[in-house]
Structure 1
């Protein structure tokens, strides 16, 4: 047997070089064996029992006598020569596990390909699915006793099994010509459209509505503006796929309608959470920007960060969604990701975990990943609590500082514009790691930082309080922290009680630069580090002891690409839309909302520069990264900016796909395909019309609503890349604090805080390494690299 050449690009979803493998002796006049290719995904990543397959035959071999089999089952009738000249077919009814597809003919040598199929409910490589998991129901149901509430699925039937598989449904909507309509979802709750929606239900059996709009796709096809919206379930999430379509015509993967241009816009939802429930997608598929051009819009609730903090599961879900599209609708030309905040995390992390999954991304409100964002969240929780401790407040009072002076010291320690950014992190996500029921502690005064504790408990699972983990009364209950939701990836500690943890602040000298620059005194610096403390495994404040990460978790975070890796990201085109959200109290420029209303205080400008720093350190440039800054309207890009980015990214990806060089890497193609429009620029906050693109970086950096600040870890000496989860240590040295000095007693106290030494940020982080992703977690936590993609074998 001779193995055919592996496909180029490792994990590309379609396309392999045809190699004709000769077999047999000199008297055998049969042509070489064909190559069998799975076009819809990798041959070992097939899900749901079906796959779009091509039989690449040698020239002049007739197709009518080619037999295609799955095991002993003849599926030849599924195959035909299509409009693109390829001999393809949809192979169905694949069993879970290994399946052998064979192609044979009297005139060719036989070849076979082993295809591995997983259930449509998953998993493929993300490891055992977290339990419990509450299926959505046709109508939402309230919590009752120990029975959790459910979410409305927007589907008419209930889940068919424990994996929450629900029968998919197709509905049609049309774009109205009514002026002043709103781009809102046509089915937010009931399945019907709000009165002012731009998209209304369309009945294929009725006469065309009088207000039916038309559109012309970017391929020049003029059609009625009718959208086919498919809703179903995949990998236990609920998905929506929306695309222009003619309801009167059939649509298959081998004969797509010309209303679709082959492009996909994948929407990633914001925020971060880990509820144990099935949700509808967070995003709005009614996106005229994409649909009107013939671009398909896709989303799945498990690629919405608010509903899923397991980034490996998220990447797996995106992969399964692309497979679903390719075997149901046709081959994808390219896929663009879009989304803000948690949506930016998922775009960038998917590109790090599995390069090529997204061809280009348009993150806004950008964070490079969740693990290093958690680092700032946890630091802020510790700091806002520290500032309310008696030791700190006594220092402030004895020194006679005004509140403004106190807040200036907080800002210097935090690295932020002012004290409120840490307030925002504490209030919005400070409890995200809590494994059980908790009483939220919220900063209720942005001037003093005063904290109020809730009287009603909450939990991150969204389950009844009596059900979830409690260290005393229910130690075996489901744990609800972010790391717990991905325990299949991280694994557990040796005692089997806790998910391994990436959080760490051992050796971190909080306020280091604030001290050396004179913003805080020696006594304030020492007291700060004495009293800041850390967290227990249950995310309870320790008061003194620092938090220590698990070495295994650090290794996984980097190796799996969960901490985004610059070498992986360099393979993806990025247009980074960076607005301003650095404070809760600083007013926006006059005429732009007039205040900080609507701001969250967490989407800081420096994060985009952190992302760029990772690229620069990893590959020596950021040729794949364009940074567009705006500050006048806060952190959400305007419709005009988004449209500009969408069109520019389309041009960029079209250039990349047109680059057929076999000697160029994808990184080189991304860089050389970058259009002139994908250059760095900003709209100054003084530009009321936001119409003048400024390419002078110095001018942009001088704008207070465009320039980057920093973080608590950067003030502690950490790098701009903010990718060191746990630092290596060095001995404490009094000379490192120059020009400031510490007394012998203060040095002794610091030695007690840092008995093993302080952070040496000149060295890589503990466990820091290049990603070798994607990893397969099916056999257990930690993951293993995949073997080469399966290819067909001549017999």
Structure 2
């Protein structure tokens, strides 16, 4: 078989999810053409035939060993489309079937009178949605930010444009009007041992209401074909994801970036879209849909992909972890940088920091005590969380400039206006609170004992502990600090666990190669940064709890210097490519998860960069240990400092009565009364599962509304 396809079929089969191909159909695709006993037909550009978009699909027909490809006939909806198919070196036929109507079409292949195979394709509009559910409205267009013509709301469609860039011998990208020209300062790239002109074809257009970008080396102005290998393309794709986290309602003015020398210079194609940037819409589900649709278009333009590598940091890492977990096969291996597990888990410490900063502003806590309560290596992390992201929990404080002020929510003048709250993108999953009109609340700090570990360590007094917890309060549904603690909506909790929006690492991640790129930003010297290192270990702990192993996740730390980051990135990309290539070639009967672990390159392990030229290989642990632990100490965060475990898998804790025998200090009678008042229902019991906690309900969830 030609391996240049998505590997989602094997991933999903291993997860026992009836999504694509099972049994004889899967075996037919996996075996070389001469070994097959029956005719086979599969969709290549999107291995989910029920989720095709844009009116076309790349299809592979595999004749049985006794049949010739010349005997094969293919029809779509009863119309002969055989002429669209081309013979491949492995004996199969590859064809781009176009003109699909919205809805289902049966593709049928026949060979002679007695051999027949079919697949039902369900086509969706190129503007979406496919599985993400009802689209946000209003939706403001930003096509002009990409040099595309102005577009009309809410679909924001624009014609596709192709431009060219070249890399100069000075190492810079520059516009190239004529792709056939060869500027005097044109650099070359080496792809597969062959030197090629460093000219890049850049395609921009709109898919799923987002602006997408595709970049790949090009040798002249020829249009790429799915049937002919593009000069300079190594057959592999890097899909980039951008950071941030915000509510949406606009198209976005940037993507994860495609003009990247690390990728293009080795022959990788690069793709992304504006809805693969969480700051444009903080929904990994919408991001998964956009990535699926853009990748489908890429395959229909360039041909089958050997494997796809995810790349991006912060919110870009969230998307990789969450897409691999819930929509496996869109990306085959992931390289998340400065990672977080998901938006929901991260939101707890973010909200905590707003509350802590507010409390500490009028308290007697020393800087050392503030740090002990917060848990991080530097309290500036909490300051930064408050300054940069706590506004995302409010109704309007983080509205993008593309959203006119006149349409924004106001409780009096515009109660049905646009709400710029980072939970807005989960309306289809969580629903809205009928009392407020806001998406159901996911934040909860009822029973959380802030500073518990600091109290236990003797770093704060009993009086300070009581005062902090009696006064900390919570956030109301508009994100405003209030005296009462925040309480999550039970229906929201049920959906978060059921739909695995809270990433349990129990589904697709088990079969995904992961290289967690941990650039160390924990200390204030890095610039009050929010990207702290404990989050990589949160994901690791969830993998261990869910599957009993984290052997498919490698964590590599590096300092935040250009040379080290460049060395780490180059190594990690190469290692992931070798890892995926080995999995592609594995014809054993092992499960997909077992293949991932068995084919990890031998020298690829946890470790850290001591310098740009020296990488230490040792297991990274939490708490920190070894040489890497000394160089890159890992701390905790507000919830872990309040007693929650490393997995941080409790969104709303179960409560137990306040027991003063649990504390290593003596409280006065007044302090006891104040503590009972602060925790009238009790304090968190992290020995128990969280409220609403349940097993995830399966991958590739479809939120149904096609309107």
| TM-score when normalising by structure 2 | 0.90
What's 1:330 paired with? 303
C-alpha displacement at 1:647, in angstroms? 1.1
Map 1:630-709; keep pairs closer than 5 Å. 630-631=558-559, 633=561, 638-662=565-589, 664-684=590-610, 691-693=614-616, 695=618, 698-700=625-627, 702-703=629-630, 706-709=632-635
What's 1:492 paired with? 432
Indicate how the Cα distance of structure 1 residues 160 and 660 shifts in structure 2: closer, same or farther if over 3 A, else same: farther
What's 1:529 paired with? 469
Map 1:63-78; keep pairs closer than 5 Å. 63-64=69-70, 66-78=72-84
Preserved CA contact (<8 Å) 2:247 2:281: yes
Preserved CA contact (<8 Å) 2:377 2:523: yes
What's 2:41 paired with? 36
- 1:774 pairs, out of 683, 696, 699, with 699
Alpha-carbon distance between aligned partners in 2 of 1:418 and 1:238, rounded to the nearest angstrom: 38
Map 1:197-596; keep pairs closer than 5 Å. 197-204=172-179, 207-217=181-191, 219-389=192-362, 393=363, 396=364, 406-436=366-396, 438=397, 459-460=399-400, 462-495=402-435, 497-542=437-482, 544-568=483-507, 569-584=509-524, 587=525, 596=526
Alpha-carbon distance between aligned partners in 1 of 2:678 and 2:416, rounded to the nearest angstrom: 34
Please give the root-mean-square deviation of Cα atoms over the aligned residues, in Å: 2.7
Q: Which runs of 5+ in 2 are unaligned?
A: 1-7, 28-35
TM-superposition CA deviations, 1:42-68 (whole Å, max 9, x none): 110100110011223333334445442
What's 1:734 paired with? 660
Alpha-carbon distance between aligned partners in 2 of 1:690 and 1:604, rounded to the nearest angstrom: 24
Which has the larger displacement, 251-260 or 335-344? 251-260
Alpha-carbon distance between aligned partners in 2 of 1:275 and 1:130, rounded to the nearest angstrom: 8
Alpha-carbon distance between aligned partners in 2 of 1:577 and 1:19, rounded to the nearest angstrom: 37
Alpha-carbon distance between aligned partners in 2 of 1:260 and 1:92, rounded to the nearest angstrom: 25
Preserved CA contact (<8 Å) 1:652 1:674: yes
Alpha-carbon distance between aligned partners in 2 of 1:576 and 1:35, rounded to the nearest angstrom: 38
Residue 305 of structure 1 aligns to a residue whose secondary structure is: coil
Preserved CA contact (<8 Å) 1:32 1:108: no
C-alpha displacement at 1:625, in angstroms? 1.4
Residue 308 of structure 1 aligns to a residue whose secondary structure is: coil
Preserved CA contact (<8 Å) 1:240 1:281: no
Preserved CA contact (<8 Å) 1:354 1:773: no
Preserved CA contact (<8 Å) 2:141 2:153: no
- 2:530 pairs, out of 592, 602, 611, with 602
What's 1:153 paired with? 146
What's 1:747 paired with? 672
Q: Which runs of 5+ in 1 are unaligned?
A: 1-5, 22-30, 139-151, 182-196, 397-404, 439-457, 588-595, 782-795
Alpha-carbon distance between aligned partners in 2 of 1:562 and 1:708, rounded to the nearest angstrom: 26
What's 1:764 paired with? 689
TM-superposition CA deviations, 1:764-789 (whole Å, max 9, x none): 222223333434343369xxxxxxxx
Alpha-carbon distance between aligned partners in 1 of 2:702 and 2:434, rounded to the nearest angstrom: 19
Alpha-carbon distance between aligned partners in 2 of 1:649 and 1:84, rounded to the nearest angstrom: 26
Alpha-carbon distance between aligned partners in 1 of 2:93 and 2:591, rounded to the nearest angstrom: 29
Residue 566 of structure 1 aligns to a residue whose secondary structure is: coil
C-alpha displacement at 1:256, in angstroms? 2.8
Alpha-carbon distance between aligned partners in 2 of 1:432 and 1:583, rounded to the nearest angstrom: 24
What's 1:785 paired with? none
Preserved CA contact (<8 Å) 2:138 2:153: no
Residue 693 of structure 1 aligns to a residue whose secondary structure is: strand
C-alpha displacement at 1:241, in angstroms? 0.8
Indicate how the Cα distance of structure 1 residues 462 and 164 shifts in structure 2: closer, same or farther if over 3 A, else same: closer
Bigger CA radius of gyration: 1
Residue 88 of structure 1 aligns to a residue whose secondary structure is: strand
Indicate how the Cα distance of structure 1 residues 258 and 16 shifts in structure 2: closer, same or farther if over 3 A, else same: farther
Alpha-carbon distance between aligned partners in 1 of 2:391 and 2:25, rounded to the nearest angstrom: 56
Alpha-carbon distance between aligned partners in 1 of 2:13 and 2:214, rounded to the nearest angstrom: 23
C-alpha displacement at 1:423, in angstroms? 0.6
Preserved CA contact (<8 Å) 1:505 1:547: yes
Flag the structure with higher helix content: 2
C-alpha displacement at 1:694, in angstroms? 5.5
C-alpha displacement at 1:671, in angstroms? 0.9
